[in-house]
Amino acid sequence: MRAPYLARDEEFELAMRWKDQHDQQALHRITTAHMRLVISMAGKFRHYGLPMADLIQEGHVGLLEAASRFEPERDVRFSTYATWWIRASMQDYILRNWSIVRGGTSSTQKALFFNLRRLRARLAAGSEATGPALYARISATLGVSEADVALMDSRLSGPDASLNAPMTQDSDSSAERSDFLVSDEPLPDEVAAETIDLERRAGLLKSALDVLNDRERKIIAERRLSEDGATLESLGERLGISKERVRQIETRALEKLRCALLSGDAEAFAAA
């Protein structure tokens, strides 16, 4: 904090030395002179509960990134250019470490995370809007959905809770939060049984299709095994027969398949 400020001409000379000659001494003087900017910005993010030393360190990384990209010939003060990089580096660190649950993965979510508290306080001042009404105003201001606003508000209102944390402080109780979560997903053994059944049925169907001739197999494939089943009329036009004849062939093929599947299922049951 005791490092002297740099005059515009001196800053320009140091920046050119670093850009053209990679003079480490010039880089050191530039970054040292702007560390007060890093410390000042770190103070603005102190309410997120992360160590100030870590915020300052991340801000210094952003300061070095700004120095590597700075173009002094554009006649812009380095502090003006570096501010964005310092803030971005600190915000990225906060999003990665504020919670074990990753958030702020999009630009709108990031804006919501860093502006929700301030915006909620400003919009609520002198207004009776609360809950959904306040969420609607914040949603319109930031351009995000009301559901995203409500979710982020709930996350910022309290700390994360582990699913493996005990439900009570009773040392004799082993119940965890995860024990009370209800899942609609099938059990692992049910998934395995369903997978085995599907594979067995697919094998039986493949074997049964071998009893059909080429025309019967084509009609069954187009009519029964395709997501967009072909019509009798379209199949008749392609095969050069009437749609009634297509229906008759399909009926006969289905009967042959039924007999083959029943026979194959009986053989598979006997083998099991």
> 102-106, 176-180, 217-221: which has the minimum mean pLDDT?
102-106
pLDDT for the residue 16: 92
Using one digit for the tens of pLDDT, what is the confidence trace for 228-271?
888 888 888 888 899 899 899 999 999 988 888 888 655 554 44
Buried b (16+ CB within 10 A) or exposed e, 79-115: bebbbebbbbbbbebbbeebeeeebbeeeebbebbbe
**Which has more pLDDT, 262 or 113?**
262
Q: What is the mean pLDDT of the chain?
A: 81
pLDDT for the residue 30: 92
Query: 3-class DSSP state for residue 172?
Result: coil
Domain boundaries, the chain: 8-97, 107-157, 188-271
Task: Answer whether 33's CB lies under 8 Å from 5's CB.
Answer: yes
pLDDT for the residue 35: 93
Show the CA angle centred on residue 194, arms to residues 188 and 197, nearest 5°. Answer: 145
Contacts of residues 14-22 at CB distance under 8 Å and 24 or more positions apart, as own/partner, are: 15/67, 15/70, 15/72, 15/78, 16/72, 18/67, 19/70, 19/71, 19/72
The alpha-carbon radius of gyration of the chain (Å, integer) is 34
Using one digit for the tens of pLDDT, what is the confidence trace for 50-86?
899 999 999 999 999 999 999 999 889 999 999 999 9
For domain 188-271, the question of CATH label 3.90.1150.10 is answered with: no
Task: Answer whether 90's CB lies under 8 Å from 62's CB.
Answer: yes
pLDDT for the residue 272: 47
* Amino acid identity for residue 60 in this structure: H
What number of other Cβ atoms are within 10 A of residue 50's Cβ?
17
Class of the domain covering 8-97: mainly alpha
pTM for the full model? 0.52
Q: Is the pLDDT of residue 125 over 70?
A: no
Placement of tokens 């470490």 in the chain = 97
C-alpha to C-alpha distance for 226 and 216, rounded to whole angstroms? 14
Using one digit for the tens of pLDDT, what is the confidence trace for 5-40?
889 999 999 999 999 999 999 999 999 999 999 999
- Which H helix or E strand runs over 137? helix 132-142
Task: Answer whether 129's CB lies under 8 Å from 141's CB.
Answer: no
